[in-house]
Chain A
Amino acid sequence: MAINQHFFRKTIIAGSGLFLCVFLVVHLSANLILVLPAAIARGLYNSYSTVLRESLFIQIIAYLLYASILLHVIYALLITLKNRKAKPQKYALNHYKQNSTWTSQNMGFLGTMILLFIVVHLANFWARIKLGLGAPVGLDAAGYQDVYEITNSLFHNIYFVCFYTLMAIPLGFHLHHGFKSAFKTLGFYHKKGLRIIANVALWYALIIGIGFGIIPFIVYFK
């Protein structure tokens, strides 16, 4: 049987994208600890991150997460290159905003912004905590690695606060289109269901975008 390359690639992008959508919910929920008073937040945040690092289940999920990001990026790149080949000549005049949203036409650009953010974000946290690069991580009163302190000091640097907040904007837009589009790619074609998914996508994108965008500011002014 013939291999449907378009469908296979899109399925990988949609599947990995939805997995990352679930991850973002978990991540944002954990980040909410940061808005609590410092005395409570430090202990909770450090014990939570220690549990994550030491749990075998989470270690497996972490590898799934790395794989999802890589597959999402690589296949998006492959599809984009092929799609560009399919339209080698652009129109002299194209009012595409009259028939589609800007977001849906610029998912690649939005995705690149998010990837840029992920690289900086991983350099700030993952490289330091997991790989032990840069300044060593201190311990808190309970003897856990003081991840709270890393976050807290980072979000007291106004440049990083602005960077994290600004980068939540492309994330929100990317999620709005990606979330509802993924279901269609995976073959969900119930009309009423798709309308509900479109509404859920809007709320999901708003909550995730605003949530990740506002927490650094709250920490900064805390």
Chain B
Amino acid sequence: MKIIFKIWRQDSPAEEGMLKTYEVDDLTEDMSILEALDHLNELLVLRDEKVIAFEYDCREGICGQCGIFINGRAHGPHDQITTCQLHLRSFNDGDTVVIEPWRAASFPVLKDLIVDRSAFDRIIESGAYISSKTGSAPEANAILIAKEVSDTAMDAAACIGCGACVATCKNSSAALFTSAKINHLNSLPQGESEAHKRVIEMTSQMEAEGFGSCTFTGACEVECPESISIVNIAEMNARIIKAKIFG
């Protein structure tokens, strides 16, 4: 199988980048897109060229490391998957595949396809935790939680922080990520005592990082590998109002 890759090459944050074309033969349709990039990098090593920098870790769709923009979509042409779950069988022999890094002022390109997503870490640091004593696990039934509440919390907690929501959003809004992290903790009794402080601190940090505001295009929930719903953003807005009144 042959693919014509057009891949963003950029040596450092300060330098200008550009799309470079690579024709790669002898690929198979069972390869994941990351394996195809590995294969291309091996060819580049043999040709004594600089390899393409890209991120990955688990390669099984749970770590959130491998986010890239493939053929005009975050994580490629399918809805709700990660980049590592995309295989070459999704393309035809001889197709051109354009690969770019996430685009957002808050996610500066470090090298080639790698962006700096530490803005997400700082949002987490600003409030996505519970200030309680650590130690051995408490007795499981000490705090009773209704099934639907735990389901809501788990749905939000599923966010792997890949950044596809920011990447696909025309405003580079981090509202889906931030709302998922807020709703995860704020809907549980363990997170309740710091609920108001958490929502204000985290949304303030989100703004300080320079992300845009949500205009509900809904693109993020389509690209999110964990199917986080944009209803989370509406819930976050309700929590902001609650925090402003009662916080």
Binding site for B on A (CB under 8 A): 1-2, 4-7, 9-10, 79, 82-83, 85-96, 98-101, 104-105, 107, 177, 180-181, 183-189, 191, 194
Among B8, B216, B240, the one with the most A-chain Cβ atoms within 10 Å of its Cβ is B216
Judging by beta carbons under 8 Å apart, are A10 and B213 in contact? yes
Q: A187-B238, A194-B234 are in contact. Are A181 and B72 (CB under 8 A)?
A: no
Mark out the residues of chain B between 166 and 181 whose CB falls within 8 Å of any chain A CB in the assembled complex: 168-173
Cα distance A98–B75 in the bound complex, in angstroms: 13
Report how far A187 CA is from B244 CA in the complex, Å: 13
Binds A, one of B32-40, B51-59, B134-142, B203-211: B203-211
A87 & B72 in contact (Cβ 8 Å cutoff): no
Contacts of A5 in B (CB 8 A): 207
Is B73 a contact of A98 with CB atoms below 8 Å?
yes
Answer whether residue B162 sits at the interface, using C-beta atoms and an 8 A cutoff.
no
In chain B, positions 206-244 with a C-beta closer than 8 Å to chain A are 206-207, 210-219, 222-223, 229-235, 237-241, 244
If A82-B213, A100-B218 touch, does A95 touch B207 (CB 8 Å cutoff)? no
Chain B residues, Cβ within 8 Å of A85 = 105, 210, 212
A187-B172 CB under 8 A given contacts A5-B207, A87-B212: no
**B232 shortest CB reach to chain A, Å:** 8
With A87-B103, A181-B215: A93-B72 Cβ-Cβ less than 8 Å = yes
Nearest neighbor of A188 in chain B, beta-carbon distance: B234
When A and B form their complex, what is the total count of cross-chain residue pairs whose Cβ atoms lie within 8 Å? 141
Q: Considering the chains assembled together, what is the distance between the CA atoms of A58 and B212 in angstroms?
A: 37
Chain B residues with CB under 8 A of A82: 212-213
Known interface pairs A6-B203, A104-B218. Does A99 touch B211 (Cβ–Cβ under 8 Å)? no
> Smallest distance from the beta carbon of A86 to chain B beta carbons, Å?
3
Q: How far is the CB of A11 from chain B (nearest CB, A)?
A: 8
Query: Contact: B219 with A100, CB < 8 Å?
Result: yes
**Does B1 belong to the interface (CB within 8 Å)?**
no
User: When A and B form their complex, which 5 residue pairs have the shortest distance between CB atoms, in order from nearest?
Assistant: A187-B238, A86-B212, A95-B72, A83-B171, A83-B212
Closest Cβ of chain B to A14, distance in Å, is: 9
Is there an interface contact between B105 and A88, defined as CB atoms closer than 8 Å? yes
Residue from B8, B235, B237 with most neighbouring chain A CB atoms (10 Å): B237
Contact A100 B104 (CB under 8 A): no
B213 lies within 8 A of A91 (CB): no
User: Residues of B contacting A185 with CB < 8 Å?
Assistant: 214, 216, 234, 237
Residues of A within 8 A of B44 (CB): none
In the complex, the answer to whether A93 meets B71 with C-beta atoms within 8 Å is yes
In the bound complex, CA of A184 to CA of B215 (Å): 10
Q: Which residue of A lies closest to B100 (CB)?
A: A91
Using CB atoms, name the residue of chain A closest to B223.
A99
B175 closest partner in A (C-beta): A6
Check: B194 CB closer than 8 A to any chain A CB. Answer: no
Instruction: Tell me, in angstroms, the Cα distance from A187 to B213 when the chains sit together.
Output: 15
Q: A95-B73, A104-B218, A185-B237 known; 17 other A-B pairs, CB under 8 Å?
A: A6-B213, A7-B237, A7-B240, A9-B213, A83-B170, A86-B172, A87-B169, A92-B6, A96-B168, A99-B73, A99-B218, A101-B217, A180-B216, A184-B230, A187-B240, A189-B234, A194-B234
